[in-house]
Amino acid sequence: METISISGDDRVFVLTGAGISAESGLATFRDSDGLWAGHAIEDVCTPEAWERNPELVWQFYSARREAAAEARPNPAHRALAELESRLGDRFFLCTQNVDDLHEKAGSRRLVHMHGELFVSRCSAECGRPPMVDDAVYASWSEVPRCPCGARMRPHIVWFGETPLEMERIREEIRRATVMLVVGTSGSVYPAANFVRLARQAGARTVYVGLERPLNAGAFTQIVTGKAGRMLPGLLAEAT
C-alpha cells in the first residue's frame, strides 16, 4: 500500500479543493454536472454579477447552503483531522472550499482562502465583522441589512477579488517540508501556484485526486483515486 512519508521534523501544508467533498455529495465545479453546469461563473461568482443581479447570486448560494447543510464529512476529511491531532502545530490546512465539512470532521488549524458558505458580511464593507448566517434567501426582499443599511452579501471570494489570509498562507508555505494537495484541478489562481512556491522552498509535493491536475508537473508524487478511499491508508504511517 503506497503511503506518504511524513516523519518527526516534517511540517505539513495541506491544500484541498472541491474533489475532497465530492464523496460527501457536494458537486465539484468542472464536472459536467458541476456547479458551473447550471450557471455561468460570470452570473453568480463575480462582483459584477452581484451588481447586476444580487437576487440570483443569493439564490445560487442559498441552494449551496441547503446542499451543504445536508452533507457529512467523508473518510478523507476525517483522515486530515486525525493527522492534525497527531502533528499539532506541524500541520496547517488551507481549503478552497466554502463548505464546513473540514470543521465538521474536527479540523481546527485551517483557513478558508475563498470564504465560507455559512457566513455573510456587509456589501458596503462598512467594517463590521462578518456574521455566521445559515439562512436561505429565495427573494431579495428577504436579504437582511447591515446596521449601516446596506444589504448583506455572501462572505465568499469571487473571481477578481483578493483571497483571504494570503499572508498567513504564504508564511505556512515557506515553512512547509511537505505539501499535500487533495482534489483540486489546479485551474484557479493563486491556489494553483502554491505547489510551485512549495517546491521553490524545497518541500516534497504530493497530489491525491481522481485525475492528474493541470499543474501535475510540480508534484514529486501523484496518487490517483478517490480521496475518501485513498487518504486514510496514505496517511496511516504519518507521525
Which residues are part of the catalytic machinery? 114
Under the criterion CB under 6 A, does residue 143 sit at the interface with ligand BV8?
A: no
Note the helical H segments in the chain. Answer: 35-38, 41-44, 47-52, 54-70, 75-87, 101-105, 166-175, 194-200, 227-234
170 binds, among Zn ion, ligand BV8, none (CB under 5 to 8 A by kind): none
Under the criterion CB under 6 A, does residue 73 sit at the interface with ligand BV8?
A: no
Give the bridge partners for 204, in sequence order: 178
Long-range contacts of 4-9 (CB under 8 A, 24+ apart): 4/178, 4/180, 4/206, 4/221, 4/223, 4/234, 4/235, 4/238, 5/237, 5/238, 6/83, 6/87, 6/178, 6/235, 6/237, 6/238, 6/239, 7/238, 7/239, 8/239, 9/177
Under the criterion CB under 5 A, does residue 143 sit at the interface with Zn ion?
A: no
Under the criterion CB under 6 A, does residue 49 sit at the interface with ligand BV8?
A: no
Site track for ligand BV8 across 218-237, x = CB under 6 A? --------xx----------
Q: Least CB distance from residue 88 to ligand BV8, whole Å?
A: 26
Instruction: Determine the Cα–Cα distance for residues 173 and 149; give it in Å rounded to an integer.
Output: 40
Of residues 131, 148, 166, 216, which one binds Zn ion by CB under 5 A?
148
122 binds, among Zn ion, ligand BV8, none (CB under 5 to 8 A by kind): Zn ion
Please choose, from the candidates 8, 2, 1, the residue with its C-alpha nearest in 3D space to the C-alpha of residue 239. 8
Report how many residues bind Zn ion under the rule CB under 5 A: 6
Q: How many CB atoms lie within 10 A of CB 30?
A: 14
Under the criterion CB under 5 A, does residue 122 sit at the interface with Zn ion?
A: yes
Of residues 37, 40, 69, 126, which one binds Zn ion by CB under 5 A?
126
Under the criterion CB under 5 A, does residue 230 sit at the interface with Zn ion?
A: no
- Looking at the Cβ atoms of 157 and 218, the one nearer to ligand BV8 is 157
- Looking at the Cβ atoms of 34 and 144, the one nearer to ligand BV8 is 34
Q: Least CB distance from residue 100 to ligand BV8, whole Å?
A: 13
CA torsion, points 106, 110, 116, 122, in degrees to nearest 10?
Answer: 130
Q: Give the residues lining the site for ligand BV8 (CB under 6 A).
A: 17-19, 22-23, 28-30, 34, 45, 96, 98, 114-115, 156-163, 166, 183-185, 187-191, 209-211, 213, 226-227
Q: Give the residues lining the site for Zn ion (CB under 5 A).
A: 122, 124, 126, 146, 148, 150
